[in-house]
């Protein structure tokens, strides 16, 4: 089966002998309509934001109780990123995730508020009551400043990006 997948180009063998995702699979996945439309709409704004800030700009979407990074522009003098396109994080762990959580269905919010959360730093808000307050504020203000929630060296600003008036939201984040 692996040999057949390699023949199709969806798997490639590295010089070290390990198997990796192949270019063909990447080509197929990069055309995913769920994220492609959002990326196409958001990328010019991400580039504008990068030109103004010269900081990292990232775009995520929610899948269940996780967020998935679908695009990023990394500043060469910015803080080191813990993320990469295609990587997943627990939704409540980042500023982007808090924005997505604030706009997620109530059952997703309750599931996460009832579950224990990892404190990534001493500044990470894990108390359910405090987190509910953050989510309420995000819905009112349409922006969130994440101060050292994920790492000691990162302060980020996250805001929802929507396609149309009622489209799904995905945070655009500058760190």
CATH number where 93 lies: 3.30.450.40
Pair of tokens at residue 159: 């805001």
Digitized pLDDT (tens) for each residue of the chain, 175 residues in all: 888 888 888 889 989 999 988 888 877 777 777 667 778 888 898 899 899 888 888 888 888 889 888 888 887 776 666 677 878 888 888 888 899 999 999 999 999 898 888 888 888 888 999 999 999 999 999 989 888 877 777 888 888 876 666 555 555 554 4
Residues 108 and 165 in one domain: yes
Residues 100 and 160 in one domain: yes
Q: Where in the sequence is the domain holding 154, given as residue range(s)?
A: 33-174
Residues 23 and 100 in one domain: no
d(CA 50, CA 44): 10
Element (H, E) at 169: strand 169-174
Residues 101 and 170 in one domain: yes
Rounded (5°) CA angle 53-72-50:
15
Residues 24 and 50 in one domain: no
Residues 138 and 162 in one domain: yes
Residues 72 and 86 in one domain: yes
Cβ proximity of 10 and 24 under 8 Å = yes
Residues 25 and 42 in one domain: no
Residues 15 and 98 in one domain: no
d(CA 99, CA 20): 33
- Give the pLDDT score at 151: 77
Q: Which residues pair with 170 in a beta bridge?
A: 161
Cβ proximity of 115 and 132 under 8 Å = no
Residues 21 and 44 in one domain: no
d(CA 106, CA 89): 20
Pair of tokens at residue 147: 């101060």
Q: Which residues pair with 21 in a beta bridge?
A: 11
Element (H, E) at 144: strand 144-147
Residues 54 and 3 in one domain: no
Cβ proximity of 131 and 113 under 8 Å = yes
Q: Fill in the DSSP letter of residue 18.
A: -
Cβ proximity of 138 and 127 under 8 Å = no
Residues 63 and 22 in one domain: no
Count of domains observed in the chain: 2
């Amino acid at each position: 089966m692996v040999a057949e997948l390699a023949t199709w180009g969806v798997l490639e063998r590295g010089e070290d002998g390990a198997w990796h995702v192949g270019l063909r699979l990447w080509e197929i996945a990069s055309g995913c309509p769920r994220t492609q439309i959002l990326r196409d709409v958001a990328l010019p704004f991400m580039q504008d934001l990068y030109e103004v800030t010269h900081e990292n700009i990232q775009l995520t979407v929610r899948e269940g109780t996780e967020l998935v990074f679908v695009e990023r522009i990394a500043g060469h003098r910015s803080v080191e990123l813990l993320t990469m396109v295609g990587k997943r994080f627990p939704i409540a762990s980042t500023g982007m995730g808090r924005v997505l959580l604030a706009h997620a269905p109530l059952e997703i919010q309750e599931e996460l508020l009832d579950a224990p959360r990892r404190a990534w730093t001493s500044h990470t808000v894990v108390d359910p009551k405090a987190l509910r307050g953050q989510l309420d504020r995000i819905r009112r203000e349409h922006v969130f400043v994440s101060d050292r929630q994920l790492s000691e060296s990162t302060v980020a600003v996250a805001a929802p990006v929507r396609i149309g008036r009622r489209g799904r939201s995905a945070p655009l984040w500058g760190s």
